[in-house]
Amino acid sequence: MRSSRRTTQKPDFPARTAPRAGSLDGLDATIATCRACPRLVAWREEAARVKRRAFRDWEYWARPVPGFGPADAPLGIVGLAPAAHGGNRTGRIFTGDPSGDALYAALYDLGLASRPTATHRGDRLELYGVRITVPVHCAPPGNRPTTGERDTCRPWLARELQLLRPALRAIVVLGAFAWQALLPVLTDAGWQLPRPRPVFGHGAEVLLAHSGGGRPLHLVGGYHPSQRNMSTRTLTPAMLRDVLRRGAQVGGLPVRLHHGGPGA
């Protein structure tokens, strides 16, 4: 258990620190030290103290959870935030919770992940050409970060996208929160949004030109693979696979179906 008695940082810690990260590894390591949001610091550490019965033998990560995947990934996937007993426990995004079970199974089906399951940081899972990240790096109560917390965390995402940009061609955006969080970051980074602003939807697609003459960026929207969306079949495994496949296609990645029927 990590102490919650340590002080939080000033809210401008990400804004002051993120631009100085010279590599994705360096950025990831720095993100993991962040304590800029008092409510989220308290929540992530409280979850680690109380635990879930099934995980009582775990020493929770209880820190911000960085993105996962190679720095030269043509395809980004942007979700919401770590789960209190998922990423906040295992230290890897989408790892150890039902959302991650659905996401990594779909990526494996498409040949974009080495394994269909993600259980812990030492499970040897690799992503091929895919980088997964989130606009809020700490687990929020009720999976609902505030807009203030989203904005405080934004510089980490902005720097991550800068570092990914040389290879980045497409982003699959999982859920309306991620869509809303991502668009201003893309604008700040020079990508031009059409007017009216593109609206989130499952299967929504937008091609963003870059004002500096850089490579355009494809956005593909998809419902978040939350437990609720999956259990109500608002999002099925086939639907999730389809938006990821589309993201891979427009990102120039080869896709192949390992297994899993189209109606799964």
Contact footprint for ligand SF4 (CB under 6 A): 14, 31, 34-37, 40-41, 64, 136-138, 149, 152-153
Least CB distance to ligand SF4 at residue 2 (A): 13
Least CB distance to ligand SF4 at residue 160 (A): 12
Least CB distance to ligand SF4 at residue 245 (A): 30
Of the chain, the end-to-end C-alpha distance in Å amounts to: 40
Least CB distance to ligand SF4 at residue 137 (A): 4
- CB closer to ligand SF4 out of 47 and 106: 47
H or E stretch covering 16 = helix 13-17
- CB closer to ligand SF4 out of 107 and 157: 157
CA distance 244 to 255: 10
- CB closer to ligand SF4 out of 87 and 251: 87
Least CB distance to ligand SF4 at residue 53 (A): 26
Residue type, 187: T
CA distance 207 to 44: 36
- CB closer to ligand SF4 out of 38 and 166: 38
What is the edge-to-edge ordering of all strands in the sheet holding 205-210?
130-133, 75-78, 170-174, 217-222, 205-210, 191-192
For 195, the token pair is 């007017």
- CB closer to ligand SF4 out of 2 and 210: 2
Q: Is 155 helix (H, G, I), strand (E, B) or coil?
A: helix
